[in-house]
Structure 1
């Protein structure tokens, strides 16, 4: 009788799980993109990036802190030979941007799928959609949804997604900042900003 009851309990549990999956209930809620795209790519990429704030590198779920660059963004982007963590342990600030763009339905003809900040910046320059920062002589005021490049001169070393600008301060969401997805507020004329992919 006990064996029969255990078997029926197991069957019932499996049925409940299947019903949950079929009805669209999340299996794991940690840093899922739950945003439903509105059709406005600027709004969508920012909302998707916001849903990832707090994600920690070190596991696919983003809940275990590590320092090996292993993230779901790099797994999505693909292996790059020569890096640890089975080829997924490479700097991930641009793969975060590319993943958010993909989730927002933004094609690679608008925001490239790349791990390289230099490759990303060069893409916008070639497209004619790159704007110099104030520190580099530009007058462009960034908007939510722009891609912000940081570094020195024209050599980017980091990247994020602009979430807003109040005329003197730029707000951004960035991956691979202290091994996590986090936010930044930086002066519009700060020399660390080199430009924007618009």
Structure 2
């Protein structure tokens, strides 16, 4: 939906529930829309469905895109003269009803394959021929009462069911290509502190445990800790089983300096 269509439809929907005045037990067509629309003050206390559309367009700042008139027939002629009239609904279009479109009018806020959904002034929801306010309505698209649709020339195009107008549909903004996420810098290889050995508590033990797990020599129950306990020793033994060149004894639970470098490389450090 174009921004202009969205704006006028938002204004129209906000009027839902508004009702004209009453006198002598009847609705009397006395309403605010005539007085508030430049050039249409004379139409107060007359049928006001077309005036309601003109008021919505004026309030939305798109009065130049709709006919400023209180006459449905004049509205039809205005759109036809500009070659902006269709038998298919469109979002934000002005729909016209009855013989030659001269009986009634409103704004289209949606449609599907079977129905057109509208906001209309000077109508009702009781079936009475006497309109009294602003209502949301639903009509069958193929109903003989639906005459046709005037298409406003929205700057961003118009969403329409008319195949001849498919190239006038609003275009979605092209997605900007997202730059690739920066690759995290690889951790650098560090030397093993000589104090790191079985039975000690040392800050580098936690790093040793993480490297063993990442390189596939876990699990290390209770990790991650700073204590070089039996679970860490078992993981180091598994490293030595697969990498015997770094073992200094038959059952060596201690990671040596060269073994620590090799372990870091296996865990992805460079």
TM-score, with length taken from structure 2 = 0.49
Question: In structure 1, what is the equivalent of residue 56 of structure 2?
Answer: 100
Count, aligned residues: 140
Question: In structure 2, what is the equivalent of residue 183 of structure 1?
Answer: 136
Q: Does 1:42 align with 2:27?
A: no
**Gap regions ≥5 residues in structure 2:** 124-130, 152-270
Corresponding residue to 2:82 among 112, 118, 127: 127
TM-score, with length taken from structure 1 = 0.66
Q: Does 1:195 align with 2:148?
A: yes
Query: How much has 1:68 moved relative to structure 2?
Result: 1.2
CA contact (8 A) 1:74 1:90 kept: no
Corresponding residue to 2:36 among 76, 79, 82: 76
CA contact (8 A) 1:130 1:195 kept: yes
Query: How much has 1:79 moved relative to structure 2?
Result: 3.5
Query: How much has 1:39 moved relative to structure 2?
Result: 7.5
More strand by share: 1
Question: In structure 2, what is the equivalent of residue 55 of structure 1?
Answer: 18
Query: How much has 1:107 moved relative to structure 2?
Result: 3.0
Runs of 4+ in structure 1 over 4 Å off:
none
| Pair member with larger Rg | 2
Q: Deviations over 1:162-190 (max 9, x none)?
A: 01001210000000003100011111111
| Structure possessing the higher relative contact order (Cα contacts under 8 Å, 6 or more residues apart) | 1
CA distance in 1, matches of 2:90, 2:11: 16
Question: In structure 2, what is the equivalent of residue 11 of structure 1?
Answer: none
CA contact (8 A) 1:56 1:66 kept: no
Question: In structure 1, what is the equivalent of residue 45 of structure 2?
Answer: 89
CA contact (8 A) 2:54 2:63 kept: no
Query: How much has 1:41 moved relative to structure 2?
Result: 1.1
User: In structure 2, the residue corresponding to 1:50 is in which secondary structure?
Assistant: helix
User: In structure 2, the residue corresponding to 1:54 is in which secondary structure?
Assistant: coil
Query: How much has 1:144 moved relative to structure 2?
Result: 1.8
**Gap regions ≥5 residues in structure 1:** 1-37, 60-64, 81-86, 133-139
CA contact (8 A) 2:71 2:102 kept: no
CA distance in 2, matches of 1:44, 1:189: 28
The change in CA–CA distance for 1:155 and 1:185 in structure 2 (over 3 A counts) is closer
